Structure 1
Amino acid sequence: MHTDNSKPYNITTPITEHKVLEAAADILACKYIRDDAFTSSEATKEFLRFKLGKYEREVFAVMLLDSQHKLIDYTELFFGTIDAAAVYPREVVKLVLNENAAAVIFAHNHPSGINEPSIADKNITKRLQEALALIDVRVLDHIIIGDGTYSFAENGLI
């Protein structure tokens, strides 16, 4: 999460769409860190749309949450191609332990715009859930960002 307030935007340089979306995501993150965290699925999806909607290749991200589901950190962990990203459970577990997270929300984008999870999406989610269960970390959701959003939790897959 970008929170460096020491460098204001230079108004003589054009602001890119990417910078506008990053700023919007930062505003949302600050709002929900102060309030009741990411307990609202709509707020979570909105945050993730700003973060992941801009990419033209698949990006797999992890929202690391404390026991009250407040955001500890948002990390874009794996970067792939236009239609796939390799995800390694070992790296996810290392990140979760390093940040002392109690829960996580996974997210990735589908540059094709299709929101439905693939078989690979379902399989990696199950593997990640199993790996994190061994260290008592809850997987709250896995959200896919395409032309809309798809929540594994809302569709009974988590």
Structure 2
Amino acid sequence: METLSPLLPREKMLRDGVTSLTDEELLALFLRTGTRGKDVFTLSKDLLQHFGSLYGLLTAELEAFRQVEGIGIATFAQLRGIAELSRRYYCSGVQEVNPLENPDVARDFVHSQLAEEEREIFMVIFLDNQNRVLKHCRLFSGTLSHVEVHPREIVREAIKVNAAGVILAHNHPSGRAEPSKADKDVTERIVKCCKFMDIRVIDHLVIGRGEYVSFAERGWI
């Protein structure tokens, strides 16, 4: 019986959809060519093994790439460009949809903004009374394990843009998204402060490495 040759990533994507591609195939689709003595599929597999995951690959610094034989600045720039394009895609998406009707968009957006940070960053998405995004900003930055948050500053910014609701988000550089007691306490203080000014706290998203916790989904808000 004749053995059918495997589909190339592009043909497989056109036939079965982009989600059918493995990480290696998706990476090969972007890289397009291999290096001397190494085809693009072998290169993709070796890169993923070396950096541990797509996340590790797309967030690696140039110095780490220089330790991989046959990989130069061009490949580093290409992969960094892919990561930045993804980040901007999510940034654009959250501006164009209702994050309450599409909670995955808001979650993916804050993950794209915060997951790579080496310090704790606290950001807020401000919504109007139709739940459309007015603006988003990083209000507070801290250390590896702590960020000082001032609820009054959040309320002040919300009033400035005439926001009716807010979505809170911060990251855990450790990679574990499980909220601490301090996270719960500060959320409670923010909710009380916002309620006084008739501003809804819709959710608080804690972002880790490839994981998240939603206070709303847990029933804590």
- Give your verdict on TM over 0.5: yes
What is the CA-CA distance between 1:21 and the residue it aligns to? 4.4
What CA distance in whole angstroms lies between the structure 1 residues aligned with 2:199 and 2:110? Answer: 21
Identify the match of residue 37 of structure 1 among 94, 98, 112: 98
SS at match of 2:202: strand
Task: Verify: 1:142 aligned to 2:211, yes or no.
Answer: no
What CA distance in whole angstroms lies between the structure 2 residues aligned with 1:135 and 1:78? Answer: 21
* Structure 1 unmatched ranges of 5 or more: 1-10
Alignment of 1:70-89 (within 5 A): 70-89=132-151
Give RMSD over aligned pairs: 2.0
Bigger-Rg structure (1/2): 2
Partner residue in 1 for 2:217: 154
Q: Which amino acid aligns with 1:156?
A: G
- Report if aligned partners of 2:90, 2:112 keep a CA contact under 8 Å in 1: no
Partner residue in 2 for 1:4: none
Aligned length: 145
What is the CA-CA distance between 1:99 and the residue it aligns to? 1.1
What CA distance in whole angstroms lies between the structure 2 residues aligned with 1:99 and 1:117? Answer: 29
What is the CA-CA distance between 1:16 and the residue it aligns to? 7.5
Q: Residue 20 and residue 135 in structure 1: after superposition, are their counterparts in 2 closer, same or farther (change >3 A)?
A: farther
Normalized against structure 1, the TM-score is what?
0.84
Identify the match of residue 126 of structure 1 among 169, 179, 188: 188
* Structure 2 unmatched ranges of 5 or more: 1-73
What CA distance in whole angstroms lies between the structure 2 residues aligned with 1:21 and 1:45? Answer: 17
Alignment of 1:95-114 (within 5 A): 95-114=157-176
What CA distance in whole angstroms lies between the structure 1 residues aligned with 2:150 and 2:118? Answer: 21
Q: Which amino acid aligns with 1:153?
A: A
What CA distance in whole angstroms lies between the structure 1 residues aligned with 2:206 and 2:175? Answer: 10
Partner residue in 1 for 2:125: 63
Q: Which amino acid aligns with 2:213?
A: Y
